[in-house]
Structure 1
C-alpha cells in the first residue's frame, strides 16, 4: 500500500501504486467484511456495480479466497443495471457472471438480478419488491435511521464525469428520497434505460467503497474529494455520505494524481 489517510468528514482514502496492488488489497477488504458480516448476521449482502470494478474483484476468485470465503452465505445484488437482456454485452449481470460469479461457488438462488423482460419502470419496481422481501426476512439489514435497506457492502465504480451507480450529474433522480430503486430512460451513456439504487439506499449501507483507477478518473476524483467552488454542481460521487457506515476510496496513483496536498491526514 502506498498511502492511507482520512478526511475530517470520515472518508478514508487508500491509494496504491497500480491497479494490481489495489486489486489485491480490495480482495482482502471484501473478504474481511464478508467474514465479519457472516459472523455477526449469518449472511453477507453485497451490491455490485459494473465496469472495471468487476475485473478489480478478480483476485477473490483465486487462492486463498476461493477456499476460505464462505461463499454459500453471500447474497449478490446490483447497485444499478442496464435494462437489456442478461446475455447482452452491456449487461452488468453478464459481466459479473463471466468474470466473477461463474468462478466462485455462490448459490444461484442467492444471486438477485433484475427482470430483463419488462420496462425500466417495472424492472425497478420489481427489484425494490425483491429487496423489501429480503429486508423482512433479515437477509438484508434495515437502517435504524430511515428504514432503508442496509447492505453489508455497496461497491461503486466511478465515471469520468463523477457518476456512481446510474446516478449522473445534474439528473433529477439524484433528488429521489422515497424510492429504494428507481429508473432512468435518458442515461447520458448508452444504453439509455437503467435501474439504480437511490442515494439514500447507498448511503444507508454499513460499508461503501468507491473504486477508481487510471488518469481518466483523476479530475472526477479531485472534484469528488477536494474542497471545490461551492457554486459548482455537486458530483454524485461526492453526494455519497454513509449515515453511520464507513466510506473508503480505493485509488491508484493515476486516479489520485489531482488530489490536493493537505486534503487529508494519515492515520
Structure 2
C-alpha cells in the first residue's frame, strides 16, 4: 500500500513560507544534481503570492540559495487568453514573482503558451506538449515527463490544475497536455497537464490556506470522493506534501505535522 501524503499545518503563512522555501530548495538541489536543471510546474490562484514570500527573501546560508538560472518553469495549466490578460497564470506569476527577482538570483527559463493558438485550444495543448517533449524527451523516448516538483493549488471544489471533479479529462491517460473548452470556472477555454503527468512528479506540493478551504480539505482527506486533489494524493502517496495553515485543516481528522 502506498504511504500517505504528508499534511503539514502551520500557525500562519510566514511559517508556512519558510518551510515551503526549504522544501523547494531541497527539490531544486536534487533536480540540479540529477540533470543540471530544476524542472518545475506551477499553477495560479493564490500560489504565486505565497511563492514570492517564500523565494524572494535573502538566503540564510549558502545551502539556502535559490538558483533561478537553473529553473525551467512550466505551467500546470493555463487559460486561453493573451499573456498580459488578468486571467493569465503567466501574467499572475510575472507580476507576483518573476518581475521581482533580483538580478543576482539569476533568471529562470519560463515556458508560456503559444498565443498564436488562442482560438484553437487543441492546437495550443499540442504545442505545449511539444515543449515538454523537447525538454523531457530530447534524447530518449519517455512515457511521461517527470517534473522535479509540481507546485499546485486546491480549489474550493477540490479541483487542481484545470482538472475538475467529475470531468472526463480525469480519465485522459495518453496526452501529457489536454485542452478543456467547458471549464466550470471561467474562462472556459484552457489547457492543463493531465492526471498521469501530475502524479508522476518526483515531488508534488499543494498550498492551501484559509478557513474557506476546511470543508473541501475534510472531504479530500477523509472521504476522497474522487476529487482531483484526492486522486493526486492516492496516486502519489508520500511524494505529495500539503502546506496548509491551521485554519484550512480545522476539524480534519488526518495526521498532520508542523514541520518536514
TM over 0.5: yes
Cα drift, residue 40 of structure 1: 2.7
Instruction: Name which structure has the greater RCO, CA cutoff 8 Å, separation 6+.
Output: 2
Matches within 5 A, 1:1-267: 9-58=3-52, 59-64=54-59, 68-104=65-101, 105-107=105-107, 110-118=109-117, 119-137=120-138, 147-227=143-223, 233-240=225-232, 241-242=234-235, 246-260=239-253, 263-264=254-255
Give the corresponding residue for 1:3.
none
Aligned length: 249
Q: Secondary structure at the match of 1:14?
A: strand
Normalising by structure 1, we get a TM-score of 0.86
Q: CA deviation at 1:26?
A: 1.0
Distance 1:204 1:89, change over 3 A: same
The answer to whether the Cα contact below 8 Å between 1:204 and 1:244 also exists between their aligned partners in 2 is no
Higher share of residues assigned helix: 2
Structure 2 unaligned runs (5+)?
none
User: What are the superposed Cα offsets for residues 44-98 of structure 1, whole Å, 9 maximum, x if unpaired?
Assistant: 0000000111111113012117982221111000000011000001100001111
* Ranges in structure 1 where 5+ consecutive residues have no aligned partner: 1-6
RMSD, matched Cα:
2.4
